[in-house]
Amino acid sequence: MAQVPYAGNVAVETTCLRVVPYLFQHAPAAYMPRVDALVRALVSVATPTMLAKLSMRLLLKDFSMFRDHQITNVLVSSLQWNSWEQWGVWELVASEWEAKKKDKATVAALRKVLACVDPHTHGEALSGILRLLVQVTPDMALFHCVIKLSDAFDPFPCRCVWELQTVYGWHAMAVSASHKALATVQSFLVVVLRENQGKDALDVCRQLNKVPSTNALLQDSDIRAALLSLLGNDPTTGESFPVLFGQLASAADTTTATSSHGAPVAKKPRLDPPPSL
């Protein structure tokens, strides 16, 4: 005999999957001044299955939950919520982000969230931000915020820098977007390092000091030249970041050794003696 659904569960499911999406789809913004409270109420009672269904509908653009002027308030407010509620809201934000593709309002909101994040207690927010950052060409203001994060945020800033060399997807468009992102960040870093903008240049060195030598940014000739120029102007910089400048010195020695040897001398062909008559 089939079990009769509990009325409370039916009410929650109806509210989460029908009433709330209907409000976001049709209610004017003026009638919903506290969207953060509504979103929290939603994620606090929704089951994982309900959140998955809502995420699917956001991906399909059935409705939108995070309007441009509200997303910042929702994300900053979520830092005070419990872990499940934070995870739920970032899951929904990620789904809507993928549907919108380019969303400047969300990028601006991420900058403000980073300014309020505690690296010891807001792992959900850092994970959600990283998930969004690796999908798009980075906003330079946002990337600047990431570079300036303290070492207490490790490995978050390092992973952001590292992921810039990763190509997502199999399509040519994805490859092109990844190359564009890398070129944008390269230009930003070169300008900061060449102009030796005080603490900004030191912040760049501090973050690059943590990435592997195989990272695409450290393989860029302009960035390497700018780093060596910075080291020449201030030798104490090398002492502060021994890993980074040790890699640069090693690469420079290898290049010098290769160029000094030049091309190998070609051996003369061996000539056999003429046959005796």
Q: What is the pLDDT of residues 54-90, one digit of tens each?
A: 999 999 999 999 887 788 999 999 999 999 999 999 9
Longest CA–CA separation in the chain, Å: 113
Q: How many other CB atoms are found less than 10 A from the CB of residue 137? A: 17
Half-sphere exposure of 223 (CA within 13 A, CB side): 22
**Does 111 have pLDDT greater than 80?**
yes
> pLDDT above 70 covers what percent of the chain?
75
The pLDDT of residue 57 is 94
Q: Which of 19-23, 196-200, 249-253 is the least confident region?
A: 249-253
pTM for this entry: 0.74
Report which listed range, 25-34, 229-238, 268-277, is most confident. Answer: 25-34
The two three-digit tokens of residue 169, written as one number: 């997807």
Alpha helices in the chain (DSSP H): 7-14, 20-26, 35-45, 48-59, 71-78, 83-100, 104-116, 123-133, 140-147, 156-163, 172-194, 199-208, 216-219, 221-233, 236-240, 242-261
Q: Which residue has the tokens 């890699």?
A: 247
